[in-house]
A and B are shown apart, each in its own frame.
Chain A
Amino acid sequence: MLLIACPHCGPRDEAEFVCGGQTHIARPGPPETTSDAQWARYLFERDNPKGLHLERWLHRHGCGQWFNVARDTLTHEVKAVYGLLDTRPDVT
């Protein structure tokens, strides 16, 4: 069971949240110079690390806000919670 500290509501049970997958994904562009392969990588390829993962979460059954989480995919330890537009935190 994850305990996730929503930046707006405080620590809450994981059942209130939805994981939106990898964060900090830059959309390639402009479209006229973006190849099909680049576009496919943007749509489908994800980091999928065994270890530290930077990901977006939505507090769906709470404030309804998106934010970022740094979490270990092997231990499930939440290393940091930070704003959606913040730069990546200094965690390993």
Chain B
Amino acid sequence: MTRYSLWSLLREGLTGHRGWPKAWRDPAPRPSYDVVIVGGGGHGLATAFYLARNHGIRNVAVLERGWIGQGNSGRNTTVIRSNYFFPESAAFYEFALRLYETSARELNFNTMVSQRGLITLSHSRHDLEGARRWVNAMHLNGIDSEMLTTADIARMVPDLDCSPGARHPIHGGFMQRRGGIARHDAVVWGYARAADALGVDIIQNCEVTGFVFDGPRAAGVQTSRGTIMAGRIGLAAAGHQSVLAGMAGFRLPLTTYALQAFVSEPLKPWLDKVVISPATGVYASQSDKGEIVLGGALDLYPSYAQRGNLPVAEHVMSGFLELFPSMARVRFLRQWAGMTDVVHDSSPIIGAAPVEGIWLNCGWGTGGFKAIPAGGWTFAHTIANQAPHPLVEGFGLDRFARGALIDEAAASGIAH
């Protein structure tokens, strides 16, 4: 692997950029691996990287049906934050944010992490009370956050309609200054390149079609590129996890919904914060290319369609325009949907599957991107040690029968 540095950039700049090697290999699948990860998104690739780096398990394959980052890792709104309510979630997502902070150095890849601050708006007195409770919970969990007045917000986001006559008046809000955005493709590519350099095989265009059993134990996968045996199998397929579980003969407490997002034509620098309005179900940021990136609520019926429907698009746009009336003439360039695997308590599932030999990383709902480094780190630990990492002990599949839900549905910024 060529190390990316100012020196390598200068050298290549002087020689016409013809010497850059491929960032990762394109190997044919081998007959067997110690660990096979299904799903070449952020979570799957990060898991493979940390298996190799933290646990010395390098005989690892990541199987991806299409190309890496084709699924939800390329279909999100790139927000990173750790403004969660319950101690388990706060500890987990704070670990993810801290890993993001050092990811560029760690992976030798510019993940373009921009901790520009994340503002959550309160549109009523009751929203404001909820925000105070939320901020207090974050402080108790040792995470930075601060209350903002309407004047603070108007100063930081000048185009936000903070007038008393606004359709959704701004009563105040709160801010996590360390929240922000990262570059989604760079996170996928950075983990892929770093994992590949440690010997992980990234196998694209390789769809899993079934499982190979040795008695009750899952011992391998059948794929569109042949049978691949595995010592352990990790499933990290986001919205398609239920389909894989069905092939292996078990069910999961997941429902797959489309979550839409939108980008506008590129504009000059306009918004240097992430603004979330839970009451209108809209959040917005501006990418480094200048596009306004908008997200909203789920299309609330089960779907695997990766596109989403117009009524939700209209809802998101109208909410955005009530907040930012000056944007009325801006045109939107693209719309897409990711397939989110929503769990009843809006918390992830990391741990053992009901079938021996299979381990699960799923249930991220609308919030998988921000969790990628910690999801990979803890999932690798869980697979390597065949026991959950301390940060995810509460996130096992057994919590449903025990009634020990970690109910972040109301506390995660956008209800899902």
List the interface of chain A (C-beta within 8 A of B).
1-2, 13-15, 18-19, 21, 36-37, 39-41, 43-46, 48-50, 53, 55, 71, 73-76
Q: Decide yes or no: A18 and B303 within 8 Å by CB, A44-B253, A44-B344, A46-B253 being known contacts.
A: no
List 12 interface pairs A-B (beta carbons < 8 Å), by A numbering. Answer: A36-B403, A43-B344, A44-B344, A44-B400, A45-B251, A46-B254, A46-B255, A49-B246, A71-B301, A73-B302, A73-B303, A75-B305
Q: Restricting to B309-361, which residues have a CB under 8 Å from any CB of A?
A: 309-311, 343-344
List chain B residues, Cβ under 8 A from A15. Answer: 311
Among A49, A50, A55, the most chain B Cβ lie within 10 Å of the Cβ of: A50
For the complex, what is the distance from the CA of A64 to the CA of B115, rounded to whole Å? 47
In the assembly, what is the distance between CA of A15 and CA of B243, in Å? 28
Query: Which residues from chain A contact B240 at a C-beta distance below 8 Å?
Result: 50
- The smallest beta-carbon distance between A7 and chain B, in angstroms, is 18
A34 to B343, CA, bound (A): 23
Contact A40 B401 (CB under 8 A): yes
CB <8 Å contact, A19 and B301: yes
Interface string of B377-416 (1 = CB under 8 A from A): 0000000000000000000000011110000000000000
Contact A1 B303, CB 8 Å, known A44-B400, A46-B253, A46-B254: no
User: Per-residue 0/1 for B275-296: is the Cβ within 8 Å of any A Cβ (1 yes, 0 no)?
Assistant: 0000000000000000000000
* Cα of A41 to Cα of B240 in the assembled complex, Å: 19
Taking CB atoms, residues of chain B closer than 8 Å to A19 are 300-302
Q: Assess the B256–A73 pair: CB atoms within 8 A.
A: yes
Within the complex, the shortest CB–CB distance from B147 to chain A, in Å, comes to 35
Closest chain-A Cβ to B260's Cβ sits at a distance in Å of 13
The reply to whether A55 and B401 form a contact with Cβ atoms under 8 Å apart is: no
User: B304 an interface residue at 8 Å Cβ cutoff?
Assistant: yes
A-side contacts of B252, CB under 8 Å: 45, 48
The residue in chain A whose Cβ has the minimal distance to the Cβ of B309 is A1
Whole-angstrom distance between the Cβ of B264 and the nearest chain A Cβ = 22
The answer to whether B302 touches A55 (Cβ under 8 A) is: yes
B interface residue count range (under 10 / 10 to 19 / 20 to 34 / 35 or more): 20 to 34
- Answer whether A37 and B401 are a contact pair too, CB < 8 Å, given A14-B309, A44-B253, A48-B254: yes
In the complex, are the beta carbons of B256 and A48 less than 8 A apart?
yes
B165 nearest CB across to chain A (Å): 27
- Additional pairs, 20, CB under 8 Å, beyond known A44-B400, A50-B304: A19-B302, A36-B401, A36-B402, A36-B403, A39-B401, A40-B403, A43-B400, A44-B343, A46-B255, A48-B252, A48-B254, A48-B256, A49-B243, A50-B243, A71-B301, A73-B302, A74-B303, A74-B305, A76-B303, A76-B309
B256: A residues at CB distance < 8 A: 48, 50, 73
Closest to A75 in B: B305
CB pair B310–A1 under 8 Å, yes or no, is yes
Q: What is the distance, in angstroms, from B356's C-beta to the closest C-beta of chain A?
A: 17
A44: B residues at CB distance < 8 A = 253, 343-344, 400
State how many angstroms separate the Cβ of A78 from the closest Cβ of chain B: 11
Which residues of the other chain, B, contact A45 by a CB distance below 8 angstroms? 251-253
Contacts of A49 in B (CB 8 A): 242-243, 246
Are B251 and A41 in contact, with the CB atoms below 8 A?
A: yes
Write the nearest CB–CB distance from B306 to chain A, whole angstroms.
9
Asked whether A18 lies within 8 Å of B253 as measured between CB atoms, the reply is no
Report whether B400 and A40 are in contact in the complex, using a CB–CB cutoff of 8 Å: yes
Q: Are A21 and B255 in contact (CB under 8 A)?
A: yes
Inter-chain CA distance A19–B300, complex, in Å, is 7
Residues of A within 8 A of B251 (CB): 41, 45
Closest to B314 in A: A15
Which one of B242, B254, B302, B403 lies within 8 Å of A21 (CB-CB)? B302
Instruction: Pick the contact of A48: B255, B300, B311, B400 (CB < 8 A).
Output: B255
Specify which of B302, B305, B311 is in contact with A53 (CB 8 Å cutoff). Answer: B302
Shortest Cβ gap from B346 to chain A (Å): 13
Q: In the assembly, what is the distance between CA of A19 and CA of B253, in Å? A: 18
